[in-house]
Chains A and B, each alone.
Chain A
Amino acid sequence: MASRPSGTSPLSRRALMRNAAAAGISIVGLDLLAACGGSSGSNVTFSTNELPAASNPAQVKIYQNYVQAFEQNHKGVHINALADAYNTQTYFTKAAARSQEDLVDAPFTDPQLMIARGTVADISSQAKQQSFFNSYTQSALAIASSGGKVFGLPYAGYQLGLMFNISLIKAAGLDPNTPPKTWDDFRAYAKQIASKTGVPGYVELTNQNTGGWHLTNWIYTGGGDLESGSGSSAKAVFSNDVAVAWLKNLQAMKFQDHSVFNDVLVGYNDALQIFGTGKAAMVVEASDTLPALQTAYQADMKNIGLWPMPQSPSNPGNATLSGGHVYVFKAGDSSDVLSAAVDWASYYRFDLTVIENSTVQAAASGLPVGFPTATIFTGSYQEQLLGISKKYANLPVDNYTLYANSGLSLRPEPPVQTQAMYGALDSVVQAVLGSGSAEPQAELNKAQQAFQATLSSGG
């Protein structure tokens, strides 16, 4: 299971809560909900980085209401919430000065690096007391575990798929219920869309580590690997036939078919804007970007569908990259602070009544509810989560059936220096999309050599 590169803004259940406007639905009984966890009984203050941005006052208000309710029922506990969205570069710099927040909402890419660098606390004893803990799948637990110890609480997961604009697909004479199964199908679809509608069939992400992130995903669909080994003996192996084959395919789509969006530098938010405003027909994304597409770009949810990732025709990996979010806790904090922070996480992210209450608010505010997510839980807890989602769903969930039921295996991201690897691969994707004569093999070799030096130096 894995996550987006740092610095991007995936929205999952957090988006449901964050984006819900105060639409006349008062948050009743929050104090009752907050009492579920019980008071820790000691005076502690902890900081967290998950306060919504000030540019969305409705979200801030909702979040603060939850904080207030929690504090009222946990006497002596004070939460200092900061609007400081996670960024790999700033996190490790702050951690070097021991000034990172006590509770950090981070992507799946970084907990293993945090564990290796000793910046996160062992919360095994606190975590195992939580009612939902035993509902984790093994792969989810592995995200933030090491040596039998638990260092984090994953709370949201997603998988990458092929998001498409239904009206453009239909205008090109294609069937929204017939997804491209292979790279060749995908290339043909993009070409047909571009020639029939004049709109680029596909937009590829290339900048701010997203190029490497997507290239990793495409390599997975071809059964390829990017790293072997682990820790200080890890080796970069992404300069392989699968990567070359995909990059040649992408390059041909751009320079022969003219079916790829023209810009070479496309970041995460750029791609959302391009797709959300109908300037490209397909983009690789996860379902939890749907709220952002609606709120930021007023995209019509009925006009967006999701297909499973096309696979390599010659060596299908039957896989897709998956992502998610995880709470981690600051190393060196006292057990009182850790207990209070874990209690808050348990209340805010995992309490079913809180989740349902938030979902009700989001649905009442017209926000997208009911999009499929990657499973990180199992058993009755997972069933109850699904039940809440289905009960209040206001999305055309039929548009995502093929994506949700793809049967593709969910591959986690390479574990060692993931963000640095993505950064190295960005230039490969940019080179291939910037010039029809760029040699994918040569570009991959350069990037692999540079990244291997990073791995070998243990940086």
Chain B
Amino acid sequence: MVTLKHPALAQPETRTTSWARPLARFMQRNGAGLLFLTPAILVFAFFVWYPMVYGFVLSFQKNAFYGTPSFVGFQNYLFVLHDFNFWTAWRNSALYALYGLLIGYLIPIVLAVVINEVRRGQGYFRLAFYLPVIVPPIVTVFLWRYLYEHDGGLINSLLSLVHIGPQPWLQSPGTALPSLVIVTTWANMGGTVLIYLAALQGIPAQLYEAAEIDGSTVWQRIRHITLPQMRGIMLILLLIQLIATVQIFTEPYTLTNGGPDHATLTVMLMIYQYAFASGNFGAASALGVILFLVLVVLSLGYFGITRRFNRGVE
């Protein structure tokens, strides 16, 4: 016997059922994916998001991790902003980025274009330029410390063979920062060269064939085909490089410790000195938050350009 319910006697839908069904549908579609993502989410939560939030809270505290922390409002930010080394560090970080553009940005492009034109031995050149990337940073530091030595260093010794006097390299405020940029470029350009090479090899060959038929020179092909085709990836890598150079730490810390006379003091090194030389974790966190805000602006630019680039590709 079938019992029919009169509509007037039907029970109204409860609140629990109004979201349960969409949730069940969502879990059915995405549950497996969420399960796979859970370990990564946990790792990010413990090692990235929690420290970020804690650092932000710490920037408003006086906390040496001994005893009870106290809330100090914006005191740490004022302390950092009134430190005359603050502007020195930002100036040096900006100069580092500028030198990085002049030295470290153009060289990988040129190398990639040249390697792409080589008919034989491309594999050898790719390996040769990538090798410094896999050298441990501490080895890189010791190597360049020897190369840069004023008396007896390899570079000055080679210069003396062509009757050029010894250069101060790391020993002078004027040359220390560019010297560090050379080290960073040498150590990291291999990866960038490979990315540019991959981009170059994605350029349709017909464009070059048509240009050759029209009688264009190599330089004309590079100028009118290669560079325009690579514009998007070049902009993306430019932003990535800017973001990376603002966070530079290893080379200034190990080679010059911010000297001579603060000439290579960078923002990251200053954060380190606040935290571990002065024990002022509040100031270190405040400067870290300021750095974070600057990087957010740069990152927004990066996302904007990648979105435009992807739309262009589609």
A96 CA / B83 CA spacing, docked (Å): 25
Contacts A265-B256, A430-B260; A453 near B277 (Cβ below 8 A): no
Contacts A263-B150, A279-B151, A434-B173; A427 near B276 (Cβ below 8 A): no
Give the residues in chain B near A430, CB-CB below 8 Å. Answer: 259-261
- Taking a contact as CB atoms under 8 Å apart, the answer to whether A208 and B171 are in contact is no
Give the residues in chain B near A449, CB-CB below 8 Å. Answer: 84
Q: Pick from A60-68, A190-198, A352-360, A416-424 the stretch touching chain B.
A: A416-424
Partner of A423, one of B82, B151, B273: B273
Does chain B have a CB within 8 A of A264? yes
A279 CA / B266 CA spacing, docked (Å): 32
A264 CA / B261 CA spacing, docked (Å): 9
Residue in A118, A417, A454 with the greatest tally of chain B CB atoms within 10 Å: A454
- Taking a contact as CB atoms under 8 Å apart, the answer to whether A265 and B170 are in contact is yes
Residue of B nearest to A266 (CB): B171
Interface residues on chain A, number (Cβ under 8 Å): 40
Does chain A have a CB within 8 A of B64? yes
B199-244 CB contacts (< 8 Å) to partner A: none
Q: How far is the CB of B153 from chain A (nearest CB, A)?
A: 11
Q: How far is the CB of B47 from chain A (nearest CB, A)?
A: 16
Contacts A426-B259, A434-B260, A446-B84; A265 near B171 (Cβ below 8 A): yes
A117 CA / B280 CA spacing, docked (Å): 13
- Taking a contact as CB atoms under 8 Å apart, the answer to whether B64 and A434 are in contact is no
Residue of B nearest to A423 (CB): B277
Residue in B79, B170, B171, B260 with the greatest tally of chain A CB atoms within 10 Å: B260
Residue of A nearest to B75 (CB): A457
- Taking a contact as CB atoms under 8 Å apart, the answer to whether A454 and B278 are in contact is yes
A406-459 CB contacts (< 8 Å) to partner B: 417, 419-420, 423, 426-427, 430-431, 433-435, 438, 443, 446, 449-450, 453-454, 457-459
0/1 string, B275-313, CB within 8 A of A gives 1 = 111111011000000000000000000000000000000
0/1 string, B232-274, CB within 8 A of A gives 1 = 0000000000000000000000001111111000000000011
A89 CA / B171 CA spacing, docked (Å): 25
- Taking a contact as CB atoms under 8 Å apart, the answer to whether B257 and A208 are in contact is yes
0/1 string, B73-91, CB within 8 A of A gives 1 = 0000001001111000000
Q: How far is the CB of A35 from chain B (nearest CB, A)?
A: 39
Give the residues in chain A near B280, CB-CB below 8 Å. Answer: 454, 457, 459
Give the residues in chain A near B258, CB-CB below 8 Å. Answer: 427
Does chain B have a CB within 8 A of A207? yes
A426 CA / B277 CA spacing, docked (Å): 13
Partner of A420, one of B85, B259, B262, B277: B277
Partner of B259, one of A206, A279, A438, A450: A206
Main secondary structure of the interface of A (DSSP, over half): helix
A457 CA / B286 CA spacing, docked (Å): 14
Does chain B have a CB within 8 A of A381? no
Does chain A have a CB within 8 A of B66? yes
- Taking a contact as CB atoms under 8 Å apart, the answer to whether A264 and B172 are in contact is yes
A99-154 CB contacts (< 8 Å) to partner B: 117-119
Interface residues on chain B, number (Cβ under 8 Å): 34
Does chain A have a CB within 8 A of B126? no
Q: How far is the CB of A91 from chain B (nearest CB, A)?
A: 10
Give the residues in chain B near A95, CB-CB below 8 Å. Answer: 65-66
Residue of A nearest to B264 (CB): A265
Q: How far is the CB of A421 from chain B (nearest CB, A)?
A: 10
Partner of A262, one of B151, B256, B260: B151
A352-391 CB contacts (< 8 Å) to partner B: none
- Taking a contact as CB atoms under 8 Å apart, the answer to whether B66 and A459 are in contact is no
Partner of B260, one of A264, A419, A454: A264
Partner of A93, one of B260, B262, B276: B276
Give the residues in chain B near A423, CB-CB below 8 Å. Answer: 273, 277
- Taking a contact as CB atoms under 8 Å apart, the answer to whether B151 and A434 are in contact is no
Residue of B nearest to A118 (CB): B66
Chain B interfacial positions (CB closer than 8 Å to A): 62, 64-67, 79, 82-85, 150-151, 168, 170-173, 256-262, 273-280, 282-283
Can you report 24 residue pairs joining A to B where beta carbons are below 8 Å apart? A92-B276, A93-B275, A93-B276, A95-B65, A118-B66, A119-B66, A206-B259, A207-B257, A262-B151, A264-B172, A265-B170, A265-B256, A265-B260, A419-B277, A427-B258, A427-B261, A431-B260, A434-B172, A453-B79, A453-B82, A453-B83, A454-B280, A459-B64, A459-B279
Additional pairs, 13, CB under 8 Å, beyond known A207-B259, A420-B279: A93-B275, A207-B257, A264-B168, A265-B171, A265-B259, A279-B151, A427-B260, A430-B259, A434-B171, A449-B84, A457-B62, A457-B79, A459-B278
Question: Which 8 residue pairs of A and B lie closest in terms of their CB atoms, listed nearest first?
Answer: A459-B280, A96-B65, A89-B276, A431-B261, A430-B260, A264-B260, A430-B261, A264-B171
